[in-house]
A and B are shown apart, each in its own frame.
Chain A
Amino acid sequence: MLMNLFKFKGGVKPPTNKTQSVTLPIAVAPLPSRLVVPLHQSIGGTPRPVVQAGDKVLKGQLIGEADGWISAAVHASTSGTVLEVAMHVQPHPSGLDALCVVIEPDGKDEWIAREPLDYASLKPEEVRERLQQSGVVGLGGAVFPTHGKLTPAKTVPMDELVINGAECEPFITCDDLLMRERAEEVVRGIGIFRDLLQPKKVLIGIEDNKPEAAAAMRAAVDALKEPFLVVSVPTLYPAGGAKQLIRVLTGKEVPASKRSTDLGVQCFNVATAYTAWRAIAHGEPVVSRLVTITGNVHEPRNYEVLIGTPMDELLKLATPHPDTDGIIMGGPMMGFLVPQASVPVVKATNCLIAHADRLFPPKAPEMPCIRCGSCAEACPHELQPFEMYWFSRAKNFGKTQEYHIFDCIECGCCSFVCPSRIPLVQYFRFAKSEIWAREREKKASDGAKARFEFKQMREEREKAEKAEKLAKAAAAQAAKKAAEAAAAAAEGNAAEAEAAAPETPAVAVDAQKDAKKATIEAAMARAKAQREAVQPKNIEALKAAQQQEIDEIEARRQATHLSEAAEPAAAAPASEKTE
């Protein structure tokens, strides 16, 4: 098991605080009084609710249908009655509401009919669809729908599949316990990913502060006779970042604008592999996950928790100390204080830390930046946080982008080392969300401009077409009128009939000037023609010579009218434009 490992730049070594919560095995959290299951729990489209208040649901029943390809389904975490589909506060730093399905458990915890599948007999696309339908998402924290990452790139051969069991963030031990206790199912899940992606190598990276987990994984890999490599990586925060772990295990550095798949590497979390295996081989959608409950509590421990469990109810299981004054979701480096203790556990919740000033003393006030450069040394992405800080603070967002603010993974190393205690990550988050908002606005205004211009163009065109049509109609009417008049006059005097001809251009000019007037005139001409039609005509019983004369005149007139009718039609659009 000798393998050449690589290093990433920077990184910090905060106290790990992991030993508190690994002494006890995983426990199953009891059913809560009610479950609030948010519909939007993964990256991508918001699932559409498919249940309504009053519906009876079973554990694992679909309650939110995936909307689009990058979106994952959401399921009822237990059996019971849907109380409402309404807006509730989310475990999100904003403290804003989003659509949730509230379920009152009936206590039976009755599953839907679970259909185990033999994935070897399925086509890859069927496996991917099953994963989407089962709501399998990346449980490492990014909650990207897993099926979206399981299509091998056509152009780049898949070299390495990296399985992330590093779990570098302090306090969190849920992946550690998962690997210790359920290593076999994790390895089987990795087998699914391997079969779909066909990589040359499978590397399982585990930080060397988790020897039990690594040993359990090695035993499971050997037992299942899989050629996977379990690699202990040095404990250094943030070794569990996807790009950092890829760097450590493969030596490949993923460029800023590219994805790891462009270099033939794909990365999954161990818990994702576990849920994928449960979804395929047991037909169980993601309705629960492991959550570490630690911090200011008597009995830190890992629990298997139903998605939607209110955090305050969950925290009580570990009996928090009386001075607990908040809950941090995630670790101390990247986590945030939840806006309300009653917010639900979601798929991204890997750890709840009971907060107390004793444990996390309030930060001393921010001091001016002294340009010591410690943050740049600590940054695992080799950015220059002090520069980005200046420009974020000055709201010079263009400059922050020049310093590659979007490569920042908000790991918090820079804030951790800053001697002036500047909350650098806060500044970067602020700058990023401002830039996103501006881009959204720009896109919206560009779209509005394009539609406005198109509308103007369309209106011009419609006006021109209408005028053209009217002019044509007027010309046709004038021709008809002239024909009638000529026919009427033909009997008496041929010369008179010819005199009627110059009348036509005048009518056409009128049409050009005023289409409406032309229509009226045309209508009048029609009425006149009708009147004439009633009166006896003097063109009955003609002599052969007279008939011939009329025909000649008709032919001549037709020739002239055709050219005259075409003229106003061509002239009409030009006149519209000059208006």
Chain B
Amino acid sequence: MEILLAIAIMALGAVVLGAALGFASIKFKVEGDPLVEKIEAILPQTQCGQCSYPGCKPYAEAIAKGEADINKCPPGGAEGVQRLADLLGREVKPLDAEEKPKSVAIIDENTCIGCTLCIQACPVDAIVGAAKQMHTIIAPLCTGCELCLPPCPVECIRMEVIGENIDNWKWRYPVVEIKAAPLKEAA
């Protein structure tokens, strides 16, 4: 008889805990994959497609699934790779492409014919203009993705590197690294 009671108590406990767990799994359900969001937060959101995925989110999803490598994002640079590696516990790899300085697109407004092709190409709505009217780039919104360059039929868009100015200047790292003197060649 006692063994039945013990079983009953254990069974009751199991039912109660099971119900609690079931309730919690519905109540505190995590929408989406939080890992994708974390990866996406590290990506620079240029939406340039240089990683061969159509935007930063698809690339983040691919990384999360393990389909893509973490070194495919040139705008993120080596620092981006480092941060992704830290987040995912993967090994740091050299960037799969050349790291370019941050730049901004400039439309030569005299040459622009107002075809609107660049407006359609811009992933972040940083170009204003209308058909047969001059177009111009809202420089602070431009991510420098270069997607507007190929569609332009008159090649009036160029990329200009954003140089250092007083507003974005940073104090240098005060640590001076000690480097070994380059070895003189024997010959």
Interface residues of A (CB under 8 A from B): 40, 90, 92-94, 96-98, 393, 395, 423, 426-427, 429-430, 432-434, 437, 440-441, 444-449, 451-452, 454-455
Contacts and interface: CB of A to CB of B under 8 A. Distances in A.
Interface in B152-175: 164-166, 168-175
Interface string B54-78: 0110000000000000000000000
A427 B143 CA distance: 30
Q: Which of B123, B169, B170, B174 has the most CB of A within 10 A?
A: B174
Q: Which of A97, A441, A449 has the most CB of B within 10 A?
A: A449
A96 B123 contact: no
B130 interface: no
Interface stretch (B15-23, B27-35, B40-48, B108-116): B40-48
Nearest to B75: A445
Contact of A440 (B40, B166, B168, B169): B168
Contact of A96 (B55, B124, B169, B171): B169
Given A423-B174, A427-B174, A448 B169 contact: no
Contacts of B175: 393
A94 B141 contact: no
B148 to A, nearest CB: 13
Contacts of A452: 45, 47, 55-56, 123-124
B47 A96 contact: no
Contact of A446 (B45, B125, B164): B45
Contacts of A93: 171
Contacts of B172: 430
B72 to A, nearest CB: 17
Contacts of B125: 451, 454-455
Contacts of A423: 174
Nearest to B76: A445
Contacts of A429: 171
A430 B45 contact: no
B164 A96 contact: yes
B56 A449 contact: yes
B143 to A, nearest CB: 5
Contacts of A92: 166, 169
B73 to A, nearest CB: 12
A426 B171 contact: yes
> Which 4 residue pairs are nearest across A and B when measured between Cβ atoms?
A445-B45, A433-B170, A426-B174, A94-B169
A455 B168 contact: no
A451 B124 contact: yes
B123 A455 contact: yes
A247 B82 CA distance: 44
Contact of B141 (A427, A433, A440, A451): A451
Given A395-B173, A426-B174, A444-B143, 12 more contacts: A94-B166, A94-B169, A96-B164, A96-B169, A426-B171, A430-B174, A437-B168, A444-B45, A445-B44, A446-B45, A448-B46, A455-B124
Interface of B: 40, 43-47, 55-56, 123-126, 140-141, 143, 164-166, 168-175
A393 B55 CA distance: 35
A444 B164 CA distance: 17
A434 B45 CA distance: 19
Contact of A448 (B124, B164, B168): B124
A94 B173 CA distance: 13
Given A94-B166, A98-B166, A434-B170, A441 B141 contact: no
Contacts of B169: 92, 94, 96, 433
Given A98-B165, A452-B55, A430 B47 contact: no
B77 to A, nearest CB: 11
Contacts of A427: 174
A437 B123 CA distance: 24
A98 B47 CA distance: 32
Contacts of A97: 165
Contact of A447 (B40, B55, B123, B141): B141
16 contacts: A94-B169, A98-B165, A98-B166, A395-B173, A429-B171, A430-B173, A433-B170, A440-B168, A444-B140, A444-B143, A445-B44, A449-B40, A451-B125, A451-B141, A452-B56, A454-B125
A150 to B, nearest CB: 26
Contacts of A393: 175
Nearest to A395: B173
Contacts of A444: 45, 140, 143
Contacts of B164: 94, 96
Contact of B44 (A94, A441, A455): A441
Nearest to B174: A426
Contacts of A96: 164-166, 169
A22 to B, nearest CB: 34
Contact of B45 (A40, A90, A448): A448
Contacts of A437: 168, 170
A448 B141 contact: yes
A448 B174 contact: no
A437 to B, nearest CB: 6
Nearest to A442: B41
Contacts of A90: 166
Contact of A449 (B45, B170, B173): B45
A432 B169 CA distance: 12
A376 B116 CA distance: 60
A452 B46 CA distance: 9
A93 to B, nearest CB: 8
Nearest to A94: B169
Contacts of A449: 40, 45, 56
A455 B123 CA distance: 7
A433 B143 contact: no
Nearest to B46: A448
A447 B46 CA distance: 10
A316 to B, nearest CB: 27
A449 B44 CA distance: 9
A290 B124 CA distance: 49
A429 B140 CA distance: 25
Nearest to B164: A96
Contacts of B170: 430, 433-434, 437
A94 B166 CA distance: 7
Nearest to B45: A445
Contact of B171 (A395, A430, A448, A455): A430
A263 to B, nearest CB: 31
Contacts of A441: 44
Contacts of A40: 166
B165 A448 contact: no
Nearest to B102: A441
A433 to B, nearest CB: 4
A475 B43 CA distance: 46
B86 to A, nearest CB: 12
Nearest to A437: B170
A433 B171 CA distance: 6
